[in-house]
Structure 1
Amino acid sequence: MGKGFFLSKPVGVICMILGAGALATIIALSVVYSQEKAKNDNQVLPTDGGTTTKAPATTAVPSNEPWDKYRLPKSLVPRWYNVTLWPRLLPDETGLYIFTGESTVEFECVVETDLILIHSNKLNHTNLARLTSVDSGVKAPSIKSSLPQIETQYLVLKLDGKLVKGHMYHLHTKFTGELADDLGGFYRSEYFEDGVKKVVATTQMQPTDARKAFPCFDEPAMKAVFHITLIHDIGTVALSNGKQQETSMLNLGKQNVQKTVFEPTEKMSTYLLAFIVSDFAHINNTVDEVLIRIFARKSAIDAGQGQYALNKTGPILKFFEGYYSSKYPLPKSDQIALPDFNAGAMENWGLITYRETALLYDESFSSNSNKERIATIIAHELAHMWFGNLVTLRWWNDLWLNEGFASYVEYLGADHAEPDWNIKDLIVLNDVHRVFAVDALASSHPLSSKEEDIQKPAQISELFDAISYSKGASVLRMLSDFLSERVFTQGLTSYLNTFAFGNAVYTDLWEHLQMAVDNNTDIKLPDTVNNIMNTWVLQMGFPVVTIDTKTGTVTQKHFLLDPDSTVTVESPFNYEWIVPIKWMKTEVHQTDIQWLQAKTDIVDKMKTTGPTDWVLANINVLGYYRVNYDKDNWDRLLAVLSTKHNSIPAINRAQLVDDAFNLARAKIIPTVMALKTTKYLNLERDYMPWKSALNNLDFFYLMFDRSEVYGPMQKYLMKQVSPLFNFYKTLTANWTKIPPGHLDQYNQQNAISMACRTGLEECTTLTKTLFKNWMDTGSQIHPNLRSTVYCNAIAAGGATEWEFAWSEFQKATIASEAEKLRSALSCTKQPWLLNRYLEYTLNSTLIRKQDATSTIVYIASNVAGQSLAWDFVRARWTYIFNEYGGGSFSFSNLINGVTKRFSSEYELQQLKQFKADNSEVGFGSGTLALDQSIERTISNIKWITENKQNVLSWFETEAKLNEPML
């Protein structure tokens, strides 16, 4: 019905705000908005973390009124919206950038009510909303009062009578908002091109910011059809989820503008909406009648930076059509690179938004890791077009399934686009090992929360963490493996077909996967999919599986980095999991899966029979658990590494190193045994084991780079990395060629980075020479090596090198190059430069808001900048919190980043004091990260006390065995 109304009267609603009289109204609204803004300069912070105007005194006392609850009542269901927005890309006379808008929503009353609650946040409603009845036989009640509810972000409309169940109504509103630079809702992004400042009006709605753009029922289950119209300056391009339907010229008083009307969307959630006005250029092609376009700054498009994304989008889109057995449901797929964007990318249906570094590729400036990031992020977002957009989770407590699934299959999509990369294995380093570190804390949380526990916007934002993304990806990968991809995708297809254009809960997926299992008699499971997977979803953490190869006894236990920590979160399964174990015995892979369903089991096949017999479990790290062995088996595995390491798959060599170091931190095996896994590295040439080792040795650097352990550790590690450095020196003809393989190129970077980090003189000379040649002659460094060379040369240099890099950063027009320089600038050892750099993060003309928190973390990662960054964050927390928004996803990264080196009682007390001092301000999406940082610091203190002397003695002994191989 809404579609018919819109199509039959396409101009009717629009004309209400586009005539000459409307122009006067809009100008007046601008003045009203400016006055309101000025009156409300005194701002407070609500508990949801956003900066809003001070709430009325009448709401000071909590009540049980519907408008004081964060969830919408079930009384109204939207069907369609008709939204017209006019963003101003120039400031008004008060210096504000504003947008004006008008919206009509058709909704059905499903429960009689005399109250309308509709989300609205930071919008000034310029006149009383108007309510009309769609049905001629039913009269709509009048609106008695209209009141914005600041805390719960509603427009509260009280009626003088009740809405009738089963009848449809139209709610019409007019409003004005600020096109702020806060990276949320309808916001502005700025950049300079040819010395001229350009403004982009763009959006980021997820999770709860569509309400900042127009009044809406802003919950994922409240799906509707959206008719979007944008008013915009002549010469600019307007984009939205739907295809452009028509465009026309309008004269609004003294101003000529364009009006672009878009085709109605499919039925979809508000958080997937997008609308953008810019003067960007684009390139395009068509794949099976789907129009694919890449938009970016004109200079970026002219330089060919969108071509790689365009080339890969079509193949990835076709891959997912085959994977889901479902045709892409839209006529177009637009992708746009934005200068200012808080996340990496956002899966808006039909109009995906990206950071420039996540979409634009320039062969002269972008490294192979930049290219990989583009391929995987495009795959991640395109995966969402079905899983998340076509079928959407009912509420945010199941966010993990949406993001975890896309984080898993992004590797499949990227592997299809770049089959020579062998990229699918990298999920182990990027996701499995990454999230193990968080999920091994007592302050972790289950994948799925109770719906009633996730209410406020800040609570929703907290869910966008490593657990949801990386643990979600890890357990779904495990599920796909033990079901087989064939059965897994059968269940997916059934799930998507059943819930298309609707909503689901995570157990709905389990049901459809079970149906697929039941239809494939060759799949044997020890229990239902629901019962197996709920042990991984409804309890936090993961097990360590211990195999005693003398007896064949296999046991499981909740793995905690600090075994003395207290777990206060109750588990419905008593911290037991149904564990699928793939294993091998002395080079022979097992074809079956051994299921561990209790605390203990006996597996005779896992007994060793000879002095050289060994067992290795979790082949290809497909299971989400760690593995421990009896000492004899550990010794045999270490012997194999030292004599015939290729007998063990590279991915499992990486696993052995990572498991050993973390088992040692948990006091399950001696730390010295973990260090022994690094002794064979002088023989290792594969990327994954080296990267795993370096990731774990980072912890040793964090704990010991301010102590007497540092010197012997450096000497030992220099000895281990020197053969790798020399290997790549030879392979690349003295650093003049590129290694042949994708992962080889990564390992070349490892070799240079670690060799320079340990003080290998030849490496330092190499990086300083390359950097100086660049400074003096403009001789370009290969993109793959830039991050490493820039950082090490700046660390070894002084103000001259830093100032040169800063100048290059300011001039950089390639986002990936700017990112490399921004990171490298944090590598200097000069405290005064680091302090100055920290101050720059508060100036968005020097460091973009989207990059401020990560820049602070970069500085904190430098031992010379650790205390400076911590002092900076403590001193300016209120400002940082207010300026960057309590809902910022980056707050957890910021808090973790500036505290990860903490390992003393003094630092622990500072951390606790920081929490106490800022309890009223709050920590937004970083709240859980703060508790995790406190727990991690306590664990670090204990670990150093118990291990420092043994570690020092081991490094001293090993460093003396041989001189470094130069």
Structure 2
Amino acid sequence: MAADRDVLSDDVKPTNYTISLFDLQQGEPWTYQGQCDIDLQIKNSVKSITLNTHELKLHSASLAAESGKNASSVKASNISYDEKNQRCTISFDQEIPQSKKAVLSISFEGTMNNHMAGFYRSKYKPPVEPAKGVARDGENHYMFSTQFESSDARRAFPCFDEPNLKASFDFDIQIPDDLVALSNMPEKETRKSKKDGHKVVSFDRSPVMSTYLLAWAFGDFEYVEDFTRRKYNGKNLPVRVYTTKGLKNQGHLAVESAHRVVDFFSEIFRIDYPLPKVDLLAVHEFSHGAMENWGLITYRTTAVLFDEYASDQKYRNRVVYVVAHELAHQWFGNLVTMDWWNELWLNEGFATWVGWYAVDYLHKDWDVWGQFVTDSMQMAFQLDSLRTSHPIEVPVRNALEVDQIFDHISYLKGSSVIRMLASHLGVETFLKGVSDYLKAHTYGNAKTNDLWDALSKASGQDVTAFMDPWIRKIGFPVVTVAEEPGQISVKQSRFLTSGEVKPEEDETLWWIPMGLQTGPQATDAQREALTAKEDTYRDIDTDFYKLNTDQTGFYRTNLPPQRLVQLSKSLDKLSVQDKIGLIGDAGAMAVAGEGTTAGVLSFMEGFAVEQNYLVWSEVLSTLGKIRSTFSNDEQVSNGLRQYALKLVTAATDKIGWEFSQSDDYLTGQLRALLLQTAGLAGHEATVAEAQKRFKAFVGGDQKAIHPSLRAAVFKIAIKYEGKDAYQAVQREYLQTTSVDGKEITLQSMGQVQTSDLAKDYLAWGFNKVAIQDLHSVGVSLANNSKVRDNVWYYIKENWDMIRKKLGGNMVVLERFLRTCLQKFSSAEIEEDIEDFFKDKDNAGYDRGLAVVSDTIKGNAKYRERDMEVVREWLQAHDYLK
């Protein structure tokens, strides 16, 4: 075993699995029988073999080994389980000698669980009459699929469940005659089963891959199909989106995007897509956004389905991006896999960046990199500015720890750092290095340094030297600027939201690309990267300069207060990304005590004339954080509401309610954002119009509300009309057939204004809402300062139920706790949370609790420090009516 990781013995190595599943009970107890034959190489003689199982019952096992001219078969004398480490050991009475070819045959029983992990069942209500073979109970019908990443293949079949123990797979499954089965590879044959009314579907052998990428599914499926335009081995590849019956027409956007993205990636990676088909499957209950199983990619419905007439336009963006992200993994992750989970970021950081790169290729008018800066980068900054952050490449001793690092550091900081590097090297050079890396490690495993080596070779630069601190050290820098005539002095130091960085926390020297623009024309001024603690840059036109142009560097800038005021008068010289970066940086400096909230409020007044959705999004996000933090003081809270109202009124009046044919995607999103903000801040005309449209909608006129305005109208109606509107939206949740309808109604119901309705919403949610969506219930209330406290009280009072309901999948439980609790800014509540959990077994969500604690402490410190400053500023600027 490797000293730094708890892994299986390397005495045996799998080369191929033959898996057969049969006697599937489509109802309680939801069990199935399986036979798994694993081809092994035995490197050193053994008396036992240990592999991974979790919630499986092994009936029997035997080993047939070839050694020299002799072949022998030995039955297991004992099978023992280590439940804590999810392993089982199969022991034999005699020693099994070294063998290049042995077959371990295991007969077992598993469960199609309801935890969205392993081989599991998803309930749904079909819009059309389903096939007779569909499993059902009461109102619900079921489909079945798998989710194996990171360590849940072992829940479905006995296996060597580690990323670098790659093997090929043969798979077959017995299902009812009228259902469809899918797996990574195309169907090989279907034969009649001995079981009446059933068939056995078998699939072609997969390429060599990690266990977490194996997948299968069966159900009442139909599909839409297109083909790649490039030829692969002389053929255009079929690209399909599968859904349960009645939904396939919502798969057109995904299938149109997918075939183009497959061709695009085949071109830029200079390696053809390696499998004979691409299937995308919509899964009704899903803990993540999607999963990149090779050749059979699974998605939650809102990440792959889109109704041209009924979906909110923001889901168009989501579908195209998630499709691109998962397809990127078919090369980066599947063809070449990280060696161990500590390098998870290699998969996720790269797929995130190149996913957005593909969306930019398909939709130039969406301003993808502006989106990236306002969404991805700001979220990464938020988590990485806590003491409880972790390096991008984080040590993982046991695979069972890994789920908690599927977070904004691995995905969003990882992709931000990749973007910074690609920008520095040049995207063409960068992609050439990526192609060389993929070719060198095809069908194998690789480490971060293997990528750096390939990029160094392609660029002629020592990539390892300047990237290592970004990957292996915690946190990121802030560059503080001091001005002198014709020059600026800069200093780098670690940034923490809480401020007060200790010397031992500030020892990293980052390589920081300066991205400097200066002069009347705001032209690029080539300057060396900052590689020391401090430096001076001369020949600067101090009438105008901007660091970190287009926000390609993953760092914050702390500018002198008067510089912010100057820049707010030169917004025409700044790109969308620059404006977003300035706002985000100013807000973060205020939280950390490096700047003041008064300065941020003054700065943002200059954006009242802004017309870009992404810039407005960052302005209102920064303002939302300020309003949330100071919400417990009624006078200040009301003054900030007046500030918000004044800020958005002119832009809201101008954009109006009506969508026109000429509106682009970003204009539609801006309309939704402004109307929601204005209405919730009390803009009378907006509230009246929203109430009018809501009344017509509830009265049966489905066209009264544009699909992209449902969230705004529902929220405004609930805020001002109370219980009646809340109950109407609750009914809409139960009735909606729109694929995004459930998400939108859940987000809207959090606008209730009384504790009674907040409690009702939580109790109703835990009774009626799918497990995957419960965090939407908690988060929508946590975002509403009026009723936020109810979320924590509910968790405390109902902890045993919540732990039982969500604890079958720790990803879901950890996300629920983290997202519901980190909005508080009260030191008393932070202490209460810590006290509540101190004597509990928090394994699986301990990292999330640490993030919650750190975030609330920072919020509380910020509130205490700046409350009176904000009050004085609001008073001086006539916002305290």
Q: Same fold (TM over 0.5)?
A: yes
Counterpart residue type for residue 706 of structure 2? H
> Is it true that 1:390 corresponds to 2:320 in the alignment?
no
Equivalent-residue separation in structure 2 for 1:768 and 1:134 (angstroms): 80
Residue identity opposite 1:954 in structure 2: W
- For 1:69 and 1:319, locate their aligned partners in 2 and report how far apart those are by CA, in whole Å: 37
Q: Which residue of 1 aligns with 2:623?
A: 697
Opposite residue 937 of structure 1, the aligned amino acid is: I
Match of residue 294 from structure 1: 241
The residue aligned with 2:496 is 560
Matched residue of 2:438: which SS? helix
Change (3 A) 1:769 1:923: farther
Q: 1:87 to 1:668 in 2, by over 3 A?
A: farther
Aligned to 1:931: 850
Secondary structure of 1:445's counterpart equals coil
Corresponding residue number in structure 2 for 1:770: 693
Distance 1:421 1:135 in 2: 64
Please list, as runs of the form range in 1=range in 2, the aligned pairs for 1:561-640 lying within 5 A after superposition. 561-564=497-500, 574-586=507-519, 587-590=521-524, 592-606=526-540, 608=542, 613-638=543-568, 640=569
Q: Is the 8 A contact 1:661 1:675 kept in 2?
A: no
CA distance in 2, matches of 1:737, 1:167: 69
| 1:121 equivalent in structure 2 | 54
**Structure 1: distance between partners of 2:363 and 2:402:** 35
Q: What amino acid does structure 1 have at the position aligned with 2:464?
A: N
The one of 331, 335, 339 aligned to 2:280: 335
Q: Is the 8 A contact 2:261 2:324 kept in 1?
A: yes
CA contact under 8 A between 1:615 and 1:633: conserved in structure 2? no
Question: For residues 721-780 of structure 1, what are the alpha-carbon distances to aligned partners after superposition, in whole Å with 9 as ceiling and x for unaligned?
Answer: 101101102xxxx53536622222221122111111211111111211111111124142
What amino acid maps onto 1:666 in structure 2? A
- Superposition pairs for residues 164-175 of structure 1, below 5 Å? 164-175=97-108
1:428-827 equivalence runs, <5 A:
428-450=373-395, 453-457=396-400, 459-518=401-460, 528-550=462-484, 551-564=487-500, 574-586=507-519, 587-590=521-524, 592-606=526-540, 608=542, 613-638=543-568, 640=569, 644-707=570-633, 708-729=635-656, 734-735=657-658, 737=660, 740-780=663-703, 781-827=705-751
Residue equivalent to 2:134: none
Determine if contact 1:442/1:565 at 8 Å carries over to the other structure.
no
State whether residues 739 and 745 of structure 1, in contact with CA within 8 Å, keep that contact through their aligned partners in structure 2.
Answer: no
Alpha-carbon distance between aligned partners in 2 of 1:425 and 1:498, rounded to the nearest angstrom:
34
Alignment check: 8 A CA contact 2:174 2:193 kept: no
Stretches of 4+ moved more than 6 A in 1?
none
Q: Deviations over 1:271-330 (max 9, x none)?
A: 0111101011112122232111111021112xx211111111111111111111110000
Contact 1:222/1:269 (<8 A) preserved: yes
State the one-letter code of the partner of 2:852.
Answer: S
- The answer to whether the 8 A contact 1:886-1:923 is kept is no
- From 187, 190, 201, the equivalent of 2:123 is 190
Aligned length: 860
1:8-43 alpha-carbon deviations (Å, 9 max, x no partner)? xxxxxxxxxxxxxxxxxxxxxxxxxxxxxxxxxxxx
Indicate the percent of aligned positions where both proteins have the same amino acid: 27
Cross-structure match for 2:868: 949
Q: Does 1:266 align with 2:188?
A: no
Distance 1:877 1:531 in 2: 48
Shift of 1:73: 1.3
Give the secondary structure class of the aligned counterpart of 1:709: helix
1:593 Cα shift?
A: 4.7
What is the aligned partner in structure 2 of residue 234 from structure 1? 177
Please give the alpha-carbon distance, in whole angstroms, between the structure 2 residues aligned to 1:215 and 1:165.
22
Question: Conserved in 1, the CA contact under 8 Å of 2:37 and 2:104?
Answer: yes
Conservation of the 8 A alpha-carbon contact between 1:475 and 1:624 = yes
**Is the Cα–Cα contact under 8 Å of residues 404 and 469 in structure 1 kept in the other structure?**
yes
Retained in 2: the 8 A contact 1:461–1:887?
no
Is the CA contact 1:229–1:261 (under 8 Å) kept in the aligned structure 2?
Answer: yes
Q: 1:87 to 1:210 in 2, by over 3 A?
A: farther
The answer on whether the counterparts of 1:716 and 1:958 sit within 8 Å (CA) in structure 2 is: no
Give, as a single letter, the amino acid of the residue that structure 2 aligns with 1:249: K
- Displacement after TM superposition at 1:90 (Å): 2.3
Counterpart CA distance in 1 for 2:745 and 2:423 is: 40
1:312-391 paired onto structure 2 within 5 Å: 312-391=257-336
Task: Decide whether aligned partners of structure 1 residues 716 and 442 sit closer, same or farther in structure 2, where only a CA change above 3 A counts.
Answer: same
Q: CA deviation at 1:685?
A: 1.4
Change in Cα spacing, 1:549 to 1:145, as seen in structure 2 (3 Å) is same
**1:869-880 pair list within 5 angstroms:** 869-880=791-802
Deviation at 1:145?
A: 1.6
Deviation at 1:185, TM superposition (A): 0.1
| Cα distance in 2 between the residues matched to 1:594 and 1:890 | 45
Secondary structure of the corresponding residue to residue 60 of structure 2: coil
Residue 778 of structure 2: aligned partner:
856
Task: Output the amino acid matched with 1:474.
Answer: S
How far residue 86 of structure 1 moved from its aligned partner, in angstroms, is 2.5
Aligned partner of residue 448 in structure 1, secondary structure: coil
Quick one: distance in 1 between partners of 2:821 and 2:175?
Answer: 46
Structure 1 residue 786 displacement after superposition: 1.1
Residue of structure 2 aligned with 1:158, choices 84, 88, 91: 91
Where 1:681 maps in the other structure, the secondary structure is coil
Q: 1:164 to 1:134 in 2, by over 3 A?
A: closer
* Residue in 1 that maps onto 2:18: 82
- Is the CA contact 2:62–2:73 (under 8 Å) kept in the aligned structure 1? no
| Deviates further, 628-637 or 495-504 | 628-637
How far residue 617 of structure 1 moved from its aligned partner, in angstroms, is 0.5
Q: Letter of the aligned partner of 2:563 in structure 1?
A: N
Give the superposition deviation at 1:158: 2.1
Query: CA shift at 1:886, angstroms?
Result: 6.2
Bigger shift: residues 618-627 or 815-824: 815-824
Q: 1:908 to 1:822 in 2, by over 3 A?
A: closer
SS of 1:827's partner is coil
The unaligned stretches of length 5 or more in structure 1 are 1-64, 519-524
Shift in Å at residue 910 of structure 1? Answer: 0.7
Classify 1:628/1:863 alpha carbon distance in 2 versus 1 (closer, same or farther; 3 Å). closer
Match of 2:77 among 121, 144, 155: 144
* 1:907 match: 829
Counterpart residue type for residue 507 of structure 1: N
Aligned to 2:769: 847
Q: What is the CA-CA distance between 1:928 and the residue it aligns to?
A: 1.4
In angstroms, what is the RMSD of aligned CA positions? 2.2
CA displacement at 1:208 relative to structure 2: 0.4
C-alpha displacement at 1:141, in angstroms? 5.6
Quote the Cα distance in structure 1 between the aligned partners of 2:522 and 2:501: 39
Instruction: Measure, in 2, the Cα distance between the counterparts of 1:889 and 1:566.
Output: 32
Distance in 1 separating the partners of 2:798 and 2:65? 50
Deviation for aligned residue 1:444: 0.8
Partner of 1:37: none
1:247 touches 1:259 (CA, 8 Å); kept in 2? yes
Distance in 2, Cα, partners of 1:501 & 1:584: 44
Q: CA deviation at 1:661?
A: 1.1
CA distance 1:842–1:578, shift in 2 (3 Å): same
291-300 vs 857-866, which moves further: 857-866
Superposed CA offset, 1:126-180 (max 9, x none): 2344444476425466533211211111120123343333522110011111111
Residues 806 and 812 in structure 2, CA contact (< 8 A), matched pair in contact too? no
In 2, the alpha carbon distance for the partners of 1:773 and 1:660 equals: 42
User: Secondary structure, in 3 states, of the residue corresponding to 1:842?
Assistant: helix
Q: Distance in 1 between matches of 2:68 and 2:182?
A: 34
- Give the whole-Å Cα distance in 2 for the aligned partners of 1:547 and 1:798: 49
